[in-house]
């Protein structure tokens, strides 16, 4: 009775995350629930709803600050590095809480450099079951 989506990916890191979080929606609450992965490059995930425009704007504002922070640091940094340094100031509390929970989920997943490779942007965040979730990473 729940809408599902099939996702085919050629990105091995994306598939590795899906393999780790499959069937663990209570543990990885900031990722869209993944119900099934096959042994190639396809997985089945829950369907989510679009973000409200105010949250999209908040994410875009956060990303402007993050990009400036990355330029100032002169190297590869994650959105979490920015959040820890200064990014929590002047941002929506719901967004900051989501990012803190996402940071914990990324650490729990344990893949090297997932924090640096995470594709955090408005197109990849949606609402599932009333909460923000990453639908693509």
Confidence band (pLDDT; 50, 70, 90) for 49?
very high
100 burial level (CB within 10 Å; 0-12, 13-18, 19+): middle
- Asked if residues 101 and 30 have their Cβ atoms less than 8 Å apart, the reply is yes
Long-range contacts, stretch 64-68, CB < 8 angstroms, 24+ apart: none
Q: Which tokens belong to 88?
A: 């929590």
Instruction: Provide mean pLDDT across the span 92-99.
Output: 94
N- to C-terminal Cα separation, the chain: 26
- Asked if residues 136 and 14 have their Cβ atoms less than 8 Å apart, the reply is yes
Confidence band (pLDDT; 50, 70, 90) for 132?
very high
In degrees and rounded to multiples of 5, residue 130 shows phi and psi of 85, 0
Instruction: Provide mean pLDDT across the span 59-85.
Output: 93
Q: How confident is the prediction for the chain on average, in pLDDT?
A: 93
Report the range of poorest mean pLDDT among 1-5, 9-13, 121-125: 1-5
Chain segment 5-41, per-residue pLDDT in tens? 989 998 989 999 999 999 999 999 999 999 999 988 8
Q: Is the pLDDT of residue 3 over 90?
A: no
Instruction: Note the residue count of the chain.
Output: 137
- What pLDDT does residue 87 have? 66
The secondary structure of 4-65 as a DSSP string is EEEEE---HHHHHHHHHHTT-TTT-TTB--EEEE-SSSEEEEE--BPPPHHHHHHHHHHHHH
Instruction: Provide mean pLDDT across the span 95-122.
Output: 96
Instruction: Provide mean pLDDT across the span 45-59.
Output: 96
Q: Who has greater pLDDT, 91 or 121?
A: 121
In degrees and rounded to multiples of 5, residue 37 shows phi and psi of -130, 140
Q: Is the pLDDT of residue 88 over 80?
A: no
């Amino acid at each position: 009775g729940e809408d599902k989506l099939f996702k085919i990916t050629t990105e091995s890191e994306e598939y590795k995350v899906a393999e780790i979080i499959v069937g663990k929606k209570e543990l990885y609450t900031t990722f869209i629930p993944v119900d099934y992965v096959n042994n190639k490059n396809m997985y089945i995930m829950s369907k989510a709803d679009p973000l409200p425009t105010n949250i999209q704007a908040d994410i875009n504002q956060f990303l402007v600050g993050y990009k400036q922070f990355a330029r100032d640091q002169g190297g590869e940094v994650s959105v979490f590095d920015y959040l820890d340094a200064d990014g929590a100031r002047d941002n929506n509390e719901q967004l900051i809480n989501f990012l803190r929970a996402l940071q914990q989920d990324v650490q729990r997943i344990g893949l090297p450099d997932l924090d640096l490779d995470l594709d955090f942007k408005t197109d990849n965040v949606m609402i599932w079951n009333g909460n923000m979730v990453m639908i693509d990473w």
